[in-house]
Amino acid sequence: MVNWGAIVIGFILAIIFSVIGSFAGLFGSAIGVLLAGVVVGYMVNGDIMNGVIHGVLIGIVGAIILFIMALLIGSTSTLLAAYVGLASVGSIILAIIMGAIGGAIGSLLTGRV
């Protein structure tokens, strides 16, 4: 069962981490989604597949919302203009994969931390 509260928290964290990570370089946004996936995978307290599903969901939701925000705001905001690159299918797939990996890592950490 999907924990939508964890998805919302993960989405917010993905945006925050991605914006902070975008200052670090090209893959900073992907690392932000990975970190948010770890947090969500830890929060759902399930098996590894549950963590992966939640990580994929935050990757999808985060990529789509950031793409929509970049389209709406456009180049008026230099911070969001960096996310225009999410328009490519490859970038969306990268966000989904990073969210899934993060969710798996977070679910593995549940019993160890």
CA dist list (Å): 63 to 90, 109, 110, 111: 11, 25, 26, 29
pLDDT in tens, 37-79: 999 999 998 789 999 999 999 988 877 776 776 666 665 555 5
Q: Above 70 in pLDDT, residue 32?
A: yes
Selected residue with higher pLDDT from 46 and 4:
4
Long-range pairs of 44-51 with CB within 8 A, sequence gap ≥ 24: 44/3, 44/6, 44/103, 44/106, 44/107, 45/110, 46/107, 46/110, 47/107, 48/104, 48/107, 48/108, 50/107, 51/103, 51/104, 51/105, 51/106, 51/107, 51/108
The pLDDT, as a whole number, for residue 76 is 57
CA dist list (Å): 58 to 32, 64, 112: 11, 10, 23
Q: Above 60 in pLDDT, residue 10?
A: yes
For the record, the structure tokens of 66 come out as: 């950031």
DSSP symbols for 42-56? HHT---HHHHHHHHH
Q: Above 60 in pLDDT, residue 80?
A: no
Q: Above 90 in pLDDT, residue 21?
A: no
